[in-house]
Amino acid sequence: NAGVTQTPKFRVLKTGQSMTLLCAQDMNHEYMYWYRQDPGMGLRLIHYSVGEGTTAKGEVPDGYNVSRLKKQNFLLGLESAAPSQTSVYFCASSYPGEAFFGQGTRLTVV
């Protein structure tokens, strides 16, 4: 039982490059989330989705886009990466209720 799987686990980008982070869950959860975690800042919600085809902005949505075309997948896109987007990114899913997290993606933008 995989739970929540994030790919890739590590990535280094140059400023201005684009990339997509993929999150997949096999628990048939309705809700999915993308967070970023920076030292001393806890987890900050970027975007979330309450169902297939729906997305909503969280606390820090600027510079990111998301899509939820399939219930099991939630994609986070960076169109033009900036050094301020260097962070650890976590995806999570829930029924709602308990949120289950992936292992995280460590992204460095140079």
Partner 1 sequence: TQLLEQSPQFLSIQEGENLTVYCNSSSVFSSLQWYRQEPGEGPVLLVTVVTGGEVKKLKRLTFQFGDARKDSSLHITAAQPGDTGLYLCAGPPYGGSQGNLIFGKGTKLSVKP
Kindly state whether residue 103 participates in binding partner 1, applying the rule CB under 8 A.
yes
Cα 31 to its chain centre, rounded Å, is 12
Instruction: Please say which residue, 53 or 96, places its beta carbon nearer to partner 1.
Output: 96
Cα distances (angstroms) measured from residue 40 to each of 30, 43, 46, 87, 92? 30, 9, 17, 12, 20
Kindly state whether residue 69 participates in binding partner 1, applying the rule CB under 8 A.
no
Kindly state whether residue 92 participates in binding partner 1, applying the rule CB under 8 A.
yes
Residues 23-42 that bind partner 1 (CB under 8 A): 31, 33, 35, 40-42
43 contacts 99 by C-beta, under 8 angstroms: no
Q: Is the omega angle on the peptide bond into residue 8 within 30 degrees of 0, that is, cis?
A: yes
Considering only 11, 19, 58, 61, the residue that binds partner 1 (CB under 8 A) is 58
Query: What residues make contact with partner 1 under the rule CB under 8 A?
Result: 4, 31, 33, 35, 40-45, 48-50, 56, 58-59, 90, 92, 94, 96-104
